[in-house]
Chains A and B, each alone.
Chain A
Amino acid sequence: MAEIIVREAIAHGLREALEQDENVFLLGEDIGEYDGAYAVTRGFLKDFGPERIRDTPISESGFVGAAVGAALVGLRPIVEIMTINFSMLAMDQIINHAAKFHYMSDGQLTVPMVIRTVTGGGAQLAATHSQSLEGWYASVPGLKVAVPSTPYDALGLLRTSIKDENPIIFAEHALLYGTRGEVPSEYYEVPFGQAAVRREGSDVTIVGYSRMAHIAMEAADILAERGRRAEVIDLRTLRPFDVDTIVESVKKTNRAVVVEETWRTGGFAGEIASEVQEAAFDYLDGPVVRVGGLDVPAPYSGQIEAATIPDASRVVDEIARNFAI
């Protein structure tokens, strides 16, 4: 398969699932006739037919609810919510129903569904279309949350998601669809709760996920020019999240920075930072630093919006400020 982009990796995973299991079907707005708002499902309607590629009206609570029902009776729905911003309309279905049936039925029922949705800002879509809310879902027991940053992980995590008996929030960053990367042609999966060490280093651990994993890599490049070796960890899933890999790294580097795109206040980075300091307090050579989005609604103006989202230079500055390195 060699080098492909994230969009292709996800499409590949969806096709594969549709082909292998007739209980799998897709539903969401514009996924059929329109070929998908982000063109992930291009050609799917033609290939699999309207029974399995179901266009839905603008009714997030309704079609997510329908998917929950379908999952309860044995189908394996894959829902596309056009952006994570719209998932708020379906939160009751997601949090109160999908996430809880298994528990409340004492394990008699399962909700094996995947909610694919698009997260992140940076595309000049303004305040209501640019949010990164996956951290909210990561706080809900009963849900699992995947946040891939590469084609390899997108496919591997999608495979794991579709096989899982639990509801999965699969958050794809809008700006990563065109990201290219190596994907093997042999079958593989990426397990949940296992972070990837993207780069090894000894001076500081930078933790990121989704697009911020790439920002973390850029920051590491800048630090390298200054003679500092940063270790970069890509979380890949937020729930479960792999605190062990971070702690192992921090024991080596003694410094930790968590980079996250969403608002700093209440962001999932706070959870990560807190876990790290509890587990590795004695190894810390400074505070666990969070670099997050500014606490403002996303501005429309591209330049101003860019200023609200962490970039590599800000990560490097925060490292300098907090660790004097």
Chain B
Amino acid sequence: MATELTMPQMGYDMQEGTVVRWLKAEGSNVELGEPVAEIETDKAVVEFESYASGVLQTILVAEGSTVPVGEAIAVVGEGDVAVADAPEPEPETPEPAAEPEAVDEEQDAVEAIPLGAASAPSTDGVATAPVEEAPAEQPVREGGRVFATPVARQLAYESGVDLSTVDGSGPGGRIVKEDVLNIIEAGTETTPAPVPVAEEESVVEPEVEAVPESVPAAEVEPEPEPEPAPVAEVEPEPVVEPEVEAEPEPELIPLSRMRQQIARVTIRSKSEKPHFYVNTDVDMTKAMMLRAQINQVMAADGVRATVNDLIIAASVITLKRFPKFNAFYEDGGLRMNDDVNVGIAMAVEEGLIMPAIVGAGEMSLREIAQASKEVAERAQQGTLAPQEYAGGTFAISNMGMMGVTSFVAIIQPPQSAVLAVGAVQKRPIVDDDDQIVVRQMMTATLSADHRIVDGAEGAMFVNEIKGLLENPLSIIL
């Protein structure tokens, strides 16, 4: 029994991955959980562990290849080294592998191959002699590939015919122009016309590039839960140049992978999640004083708490009291998160990344200070663990150090809220005694997903944070 190893989804928004290196060769034994390959995502290079034990029979994807999530990249089977009679999914083979009688049902090529001595004559690869009759016409779907000629592909693409539904009449079941024409003429197979490729993705289409939006089949995913997202968010303003230049075709500069990813994630967030915003001004005077004291105490250990650490700590407490803001909206329901992992938006050279302090919910302020420092360093070095870049359950974006007083952030899917905080600055405030006083103020803006929470809850949430920060001892006690 062979098992297909498929490209894993190592982040909520991961759509494809690159096989950087195979750690095992074809024919070698692999154990369940043993690393077999290094996979590069938009964020990091991660070891991919086999979810089956046996012999690595076939490597389907060459090093350096990028394939969609869910696509088979290798086959692990039982028995001894058996590369020769490995299951059929080698995508290259143009010969219609053995069986003379064309079984019309395309069975799952991978499952249905107890194949061994039964189909004798073929396997030697001595495909000499001009075969008189065109070889058995059976659909070539090995390893999920559809074989079709360039013109057939082009025609199918233009006319919206789903190639995976076409039976090929060419050699080896290859789909040729005529097959597609027949379907068009028959007019029956009116496939989901305009986007024939999108769902197909893992099958073959070279045109996939054109349709990067599609989320490769989440059902194929072996993982039970969608993992939280990797990057993205914020950008106070999507600085789109408004200058409409009538000049000849400005150069098109391609976006980096990370930028593309940020684009995808933010578009998705803004189109899926109805954002609403609540802001409040927080008097940080006491918090700043307390922070100075704390840092004096911790100085000996070389630890410093930042303003942000205080905000993280306040958020953690608040999230425990309002757990919906720490939950994910999923299939019309709420998936509550047991852990509170606070993500911190960070600008890095290529864009933006949001490493999470995993387990922040269980940390003291001191631990938070340490963890946030470490995680920031590793984000700069690009050595974050998948859980760190994809595991956040709530996020904080702080642009205070850039002198920004207030801004609005975009929620990072699948999270439900993000808190945007501006600079702590001295402002004149009217106090309870109607006196104008100078206080250290900070504006915090919550973006929240309206499908889950409403304005009043948002208000309570920010007021809770405000209350904690204005009475900072409650944070550390």
Tell me what chain B mostly uses at the interface: helix, strand, loop, or mixed.
loop
Q: In the bound complex, how far is the Cα of B236 from the Cα of A29, in angstroms? A: 88
**Assuming the A-B contacts A254-B177, A286-B174, A286-B176, are A320 and B134 also in contact, with contact meaning beta carbons closer than 8 angstroms in the complex?**
yes
- Asked if B150 and A318 sit within 8 Å, CB to CB, the answer is no
CB distance from A276 to the nearest CB of B (A): 12
Contacts of B171 in A (CB 8 A): 286, 321-324
- Asked if B130 and A285 sit within 8 Å, CB to CB, the answer is no
- Asked if B132 and A285 sit within 8 Å, CB to CB, the answer is no
Q: In the bound complex, how far is the Cα of B171 from the Cα of A286, in angstroms? A: 9
- Asked if A321 and B134 sit within 8 Å, CB to CB, the answer is yes
CB distance from B262 to the nearest CB of A (A): 34
With an 8 A cutoff between CB atoms, is B151 at the interface?
Answer: yes
Contacts of A189 in B (CB 8 A): none
Within 8 A of B (CB), among A283-325: 283-286, 314, 317-318, 320-324
Contacts of B126 in A (CB 8 A): none
* Nearest A residue to B153, CB-CB: A282
- Asked if A283 and B130 sit within 8 Å, CB to CB, the answer is no
Q: In the bound complex, how far is the Cα of B134 from the Cα of A278, in angstroms? A: 27
**Assuming the A-B contacts A254-B177, A323-B171, are A285 and B149 also in contact, with contact meaning beta carbons closer than 8 angstroms in the complex?**
yes
With an 8 A cutoff between CB atoms, is A281 at the interface?
Answer: yes
With an 8 A cutoff between CB atoms, is B345 at the interface?
Answer: no
- Asked if A324 and B151 sit within 8 Å, CB to CB, the answer is no
CB distance from B7 to the nearest CB of A (A): 28
**Assuming the A-B contacts A282-B150, A285-B176, A286-B176, are A324 and B130 also in contact, with contact meaning beta carbons closer than 8 angstroms in the complex?**
no
**Assuming the A-B contacts A254-B177, A286-B174, A317-B132, are A324 and B169 also in contact, with contact meaning beta carbons closer than 8 angstroms in the complex?**
yes
- Asked if A321 and B151 sit within 8 Å, CB to CB, the answer is no
- Asked if B149 and A286 sit within 8 Å, CB to CB, the answer is yes
Report the contact-size class of chain A (Cβ under 8 Å from the partner): 10 to 19
Q: Which of B137, B154, B171 has the most CB of A within 10 A?
A: B171
Annotate B156-189 by CB proximity to A: 1 below 8 A, 0 otherwise: 0000000000000111001011100000000000
Q: In the bound complex, how far is the Cα of B129 from the Cα of A314, in angstroms? A: 11
Annotate B140-156 by CB proximity to A: 1 below 8 A, 0 otherwise: 00000000011110100
Q: In the bound complex, how far is the Cα of B131 from the Cα of A320, in angstroms? A: 9
Annotate A2-13 by CB proximity to B: 1 below 8 A, 0 otherwise: 000000000000
Name the contact of A284 in the complex, choosing from B131, B132, B150, B178 (C-beta under 8 A).
B150
- Asked if B170 and A254 sit within 8 Å, CB to CB, the answer is no
- Asked if B170 and A284 sit within 8 Å, CB to CB, the answer is no
- Asked if A286 and B170 sit within 8 Å, CB to CB, the answer is yes
**Assuming the A-B contacts A286-B170, A314-B130, are A324 and B150 also in contact, with contact meaning beta carbons closer than 8 angstroms in the complex?**
no
Contacts of B178 in A (CB 8 A): 285
Annotate B340-384 by CB proximity to A: 1 below 8 A, 0 otherwise: 000000000000000000000000000000000000000000000
- Asked if B130 and A284 sit within 8 Å, CB to CB, the answer is no
Q: In the bound complex, how far is the Cα of B150 from the Cα of A318, in angstroms? A: 20
Contacts of A317 in B (CB 8 A): 130, 132
Contacts of A324 in B (CB 8 A): 134, 137, 169-171, 176
Contacts of A286 in B (CB 8 A): 149, 170-171, 174, 176
Name the contact of A281 in the complex, choosing from B132, B150, B170 (C-beta under 8 A).
B150
Q: In the bound complex, how far is the Cα of B170 from the Cα of A56, in angstroms? A: 57
- Asked if B131 and A283 sit within 8 Å, CB to CB, the answer is no
Q: In the bound complex, how far is the Cα of B303 from the Cα of A147, in angstroms? A: 86
Q: In the bound complex, how far is the Cα of B174 from the Cα of A285, in angstroms? A: 10
Contacts of A254 in B (CB 8 A): 149, 151, 177
Contacts of B149 in A (CB 8 A): 254, 284-286
Contacts of A321 in B (CB 8 A): 130-131, 134, 171
Contacts of A282 in B (CB 8 A): 150-151, 154
* Nearest A residue to B171, CB-CB: A324
- Asked if A323 and B176 sit within 8 Å, CB to CB, the answer is yes
* Nearest A residue to B135, CB-CB: A321
- Asked if A285 and B131 sit within 8 Å, CB to CB, the answer is no
Within 8 A of B (CB), among A255-298: 281-286
9 contacts between A and B (CB under 8 A): A282-B150, A282-B154, A284-B151, A285-B150, A285-B151, A286-B149, A321-B131, A322-B171, A323-B170
12 additional A-B pairs beyond A284-B151, A324-B171, beta carbons within 8 Å, are: A282-B150, A282-B151, A283-B151, A285-B149, A285-B152, A286-B170, A317-B130, A320-B132, A321-B130, A321-B131, A322-B171, A324-B170
